[in-house]
Amino acid sequence: MAVYTEVSDETLDAFLTHYAVGGALSCKGIAEGVENSNFLLVTSNGPYILTLYEKRVDPGDLPFFLGLMEHLRSKGLACPQPVHGRDGKVLRCLSGRPAAIFTFLEGMWPRRVLGRHCGQVGAALAAMHLAGGDFTMTRPNSLSVAGWRDLFGRCRARADEVQPGLEGLIEAELIELEGLWPTGLPLGVIHADLFPDNVFFRGEALSGLIDFYFACTDFLAYDLAICLNAWCFEPDGSLNATKARALFAGYQQVRPLQAAELAAMPLLARGAATRFLLTRLYDWLNRPEGALVTPKDPREYLRKLRFHQSVRGLESYCLDGPE
Amino acid sequence: MAVYTEVSDETLDAFLTHYAVGGALSCKGIAEGVENSNFLLVTSNGPYILTLYEKRVDPGDLPFFLGLMEHLRSKGLACPQPVHGRDGKVLRCLSGRPAAIFTFLEGMWPRRVLGRHCGQVGAALAAMHLAGGDFTMTRPNSLSVAGWRDLFGRCRARADEVQPGLEGLIEAELIELEGLWPTGLPLGVIHADLFPDNVFFRGEALSGLIDFYFACTDFLAYDLAICLNAWCFEPDGSLNATKARALFAGYQQVRPLQAAELAAMPLLARGAATRFLLTRLYDWLNRPEGALVTPKDPREYLRKLRFHQSVRGLESYCLDGPE
């Protein structure tokens, strides 16, 4: 939950004159999004989301993120849409920050993940991968294998504070991942952070995806490996086979995986677990005094990493191999 | 900002069947209210506020708070209204907490307080005091003079961590306040926490008051003394005479103060400063690890207390005495 920047009524009123969305009836900071300040703006036209981009987001990346959301919507994928100002622009400055207004996406993210959610998430992820196929902008993934060692370097000295032996475990894992990381898998635009709080449902049906601020160009199958980690584990670190099967079946109904993608899945899943272990470890060790966001426990991803390290093949995920 | 309890879509849907508000399109935790969990609930009927009462609120007090809001509204004061369920009830259980749905009050609280805000706040406070005149329920003020010593006892040992000499200063102040605290002033229902974030404006005009969860029965003039502290000081601890005059003039246009209330004002203002100094000191020294709420600096109220200790009479507030 996060509101880092305050917006006064006078500055908001001035800002809204640039848009045809009506006058502000209300603007409340909401407990969604960790990186940015988000407000639920109610105008005479209805609800909108107002986002102020904070320091952790590179303003140079914003055209990629906003352009992607518009591209995906034009292909039929449900996601918030940046509202164009009267001058056609989607980004301008508010309270000293880059800011944009978005259409309101109905739905709630599932607090308790069920198998039926996982199947729909898989299908939506595959639909996003297909819809992104002709998106022409690219953005390197700074949080993939090439970026992990740098991140590790910034938190390794204190890693054992979280769990004895953690530094050595990650060091060994990075050496393996760097040596074994696949090449040549299908590339495209990936969401890269499709956790349950970024997927909305209305009743039984998935209503859309949000929070594209980690989106980048990487292996499509790596995105699915992130979802496997995020959606298919029990709190004790064990895999829920029903959810894993539902996730993969949902994905493959829309975009069948290639044999090389399936074969690489255990390694991609290890990589995805390592990526979230590292960022959570960094955030855990670098909590600012008076932080508005409670950092998530890195050990959740340590348990997942250990599971992936122990697998012998796709059958450990209760998945079928290539036919 | 606070969301302490999660609400799942399934439990919310079941909860909403008890009300005629339509189905949930969205429910987002909002960064308002420190004591409770608040959600902006959007249904097919429009926006509502959903509040879950957390442990710091005594469930036995809820009928007083909700009854007061309904009473004040019936007298024409703008404030959120608890929505009655199909069975007539306004309170029921959600995610293990007492919970209520409220009508949505338009407006935003002023991030930058101006003189014009203070005049309207004074008038609205007086209107609330008059409207509460025939409210039949009562609730003792546990945070008035009789409650301060107990609160002090729970944080005095570490008071000097915040500022050297603070323990002695508060001890001396409490002795004075206990000896000099007035009796016989007009009593009634007071808001007791009418800070800027509890007063909404739309454009130039005050649109309503929120957050009645400290409301209680006490001297009406003490409520005005709380507003004097909350609305009329500059960040350096100096009084803004224009704001103080506007606050009092706005109040007296609606409810003229009695001579005894005016005469007691410097002491009531010291008491109000002491009350917020003590609660902020307690919260500062008892921050839970991973707190979602950043505690406010108690020294702001130490500066205000020192100002009030230095005054010679109403002229120090640039106010006229009784005529």
pLDDT mean across residues, chain B:
93
Return the pLDDT at B293.
Answer: 61
pLDDT in tens, B46-85: 999 999 998 888 999 999 999 999 999 999 999 999 999 9
Mean pLDDT value of segment A25-44: 88
Per the CB < 8 A criterion, the answer to whether B196 and B110 are in contact is: yes
Query: Which of A24-33, A189-198, B39-48, B297-306 has the least mean pLDDT?
Result: A24-33
Return the pLDDT at A322.
Answer: 65
Superfamily of A9-103 according to CATH? Phosphorylase Kinase; domain 1 (3.30.200.20)
Using pLDDT thresholds of 50, 70 and 90, give the confidence band for residue B322. low
Cβ of B25 and A202 within 8 Å?
Answer: yes
- pLDDT beyond 90 at A263: yes
How far is the C-alpha of A52 from the C-alpha of A5, rounded, in Å? Answer: 8
How far is the C-alpha of A164 from the C-alpha of A274, rounded, in Å? Answer: 17
Of A10, A202, A294, the CB nearest to B290: A294
User: Which residues of chain A lie closer than 8 angstroms to B106, CB-CB?
Assistant: 25-26, 42
How far is the C-alpha of B187 from the C-alpha of B260, rounded, in Å? Answer: 13
- Residue B256: C-alpha distances to residues A21, A258, A286, B194, B250 (Å): 43, 81, 55, 19, 10
pLDDT in tens, A102-118: 999 999 999 999 999 99
Query: In 3D, which of A192, A198, A195, A238 has the Cα closest to residue A215?
Result: A192
3-state secondary structure of B57: coil
Cβ of A42 and B106 within 8 Å?
Answer: yes
Q: Which residues pair with B218 in a beta bridge?
A: B188
Phi, psi of A30 (to 5 degrees): -115, 155
Using pLDDT thresholds of 50, 70 and 90, give the confidence band for residue A1. very low
Strands (E), B116-209: 187-190, 199-202, 205-209
How many percent of chain B have pLDDT more than 70? 96
Per the CB < 8 A criterion, the answer to whether A237 and A298 are in contact is: no
Q: Which residues pair with A99 in a beta bridge?
A: A52, A92
Instruction: Report how many Cβ contacts below 8 Å link chain A to chain B.
Output: 91
Confirm or reject contact between A181 and chain B (CB < 8 A). no
Return the pLDDT at A151.
Answer: 95
Q: Which residues of A165-180 are buried (b: 16+ CB within 10 A; e: fewer)?
A: ebbebbeebbeebeee
- Residue A285: C-alpha distances to residues A162, A272, A289, A296 (Å): 8, 20, 12, 11
Q: Which residues of A185-223 are buried (b: 16+ CB within 10 A; e: fewer)?
A: beebbbbbbbbbbbbbbbeeebbbbbbbbbbbbbbbbbb
Using pLDDT thresholds of 50, 70 and 90, give the confidence band for residue B291. low
Gap from B287 CA to chain A (nearest CA, Å)? 9
Of A29, A106, A110, the CB nearest to B1: A29
Within 10 angstroms of residue A112's Cβ, the number of other Cβ atoms is: 11
Q: DSSP secondary structure string, A170-233?
A: HHHHHHHHHHH---SPPEEEE-S---GGGEEEETTEEEEE---TT-EEEEHHHHHHHHHHHHSB
3-state secondary structure of A36: coil
Mean pLDDT value of segment A218-244: 95
Using pLDDT thresholds of 50, 70 and 90, give the confidence band for residue A289. low
- Per CATH, domain B115-317 is 3.90.1200.10: yes
Per the CB < 8 A criterion, the answer to whether A15 and A94 are in contact is: yes
Using pLDDT thresholds of 50, 70 and 90, give the confidence band for residue A315. confident
How many percent of chain A have pLDDT more than 70? 96
Return the pLDDT at B116.
Answer: 94
How far is the C-alpha of A140 from the C-alpha of B266, rounded, in Å? Answer: 63
Task: Locate the chain B residue with the closest alpha carbon to A202.
Answer: B25
Pairing of strands B97-103, B92-94: antiparallel
Within 10 angstroms of residue A265's Cβ, the number of other Cβ atoms is: 25
Per the CB < 8 A criterion, the answer to whether A313 and A264 are in contact is: no
Using pLDDT thresholds of 50, 70 and 90, give the confidence band for residue A2. low
Query: In 3D, which of B208, B200, B108 has the Cα closest to residue A24?
Result: B108
Return the pLDDT at A174.
Answer: 97
The three state secondary structure string of B67-89 is HHHHHHHHCCCCCCCECCCCCCC
Gap from A208 CA to chain B (nearest CA, Å)? 12
How far is the C-alpha of A37 from the C-alpha of A30, rounded, in Å? Answer: 8
Confirm or reject contact between A111 and chain B (CB < 8 A). yes
- pLDDT beyond 50 at A272: yes
Return the pLDDT at B209.
Answer: 98
Cβ of A40 and B32 within 8 Å?
Answer: no
Contacts of B17 (CB under 8 A, 6+ apart): none
Mean pLDDT value of segment A43-51: 94
Per-residue tokens: A114:
């069920």
User: Which residues of chain A lie closer than 8 angstroms to B7, CB-CB?
Assistant: 111
Q: DSSP secondary structure string, B287-321?
A: PPTT-SSPPPPTHHHHHHHHHHHH--SGGGGT---
Interior angle at CA B164, CA B158 and CA B170, nearest 5: 70
3-state secondary structure of A50: strand
Per the CB < 8 A criterion, the answer to whether B271 and B153 are in contact is: no
Residue range(s) of every CATH 3.30.200.20 domain in chain A = 9-103
Return the pLDDT at A323.
Answer: 55
How far is the C-alpha of B100 from the C-alpha of B303, rounded, in Å? Answer: 38
How far is the C-alpha of B176 from the C-alpha of B161, rounded, in Å? Answer: 23
Using pLDDT thresholds of 50, 70 and 90, give the confidence band for residue B289. low
Gap from B172 CA to chain A (nearest CA, Å)? 31
Mean pLDDT value of segment A176-187: 97
Q: What is the CA radius of gyration of chain B?
A: 20
- pLDDT beyond 60 at A82: yes
User: Which residues of chain A lie closer than 8 angstroms to B17, CB-CB?
Assistant: none
Return the pLDDT at A237.
Answer: 86
pLDDT in tens, A151-168: 999 999 999 999 999 999
How many percent of chain A have pLDDT more than 90? 83
Per-residue tokens: B6:
């999660």
Using pLDDT thresholds of 50, 70 and 90, give the confidence band for residue B1. very low
Contacts of A136 (CB under 8 A, 6+ apart): none
Gap from B204 CA to chain A (nearest CA, Å)? 10
Phi, psi of A304 (to 5 degrees): -65, -40
Mean pLDDT value of segment B121-134: 98
Cβ of B29 and A25 within 8 Å?
Answer: no
Confirm or reject contact between A7 and chain B (CB < 8 A). yes
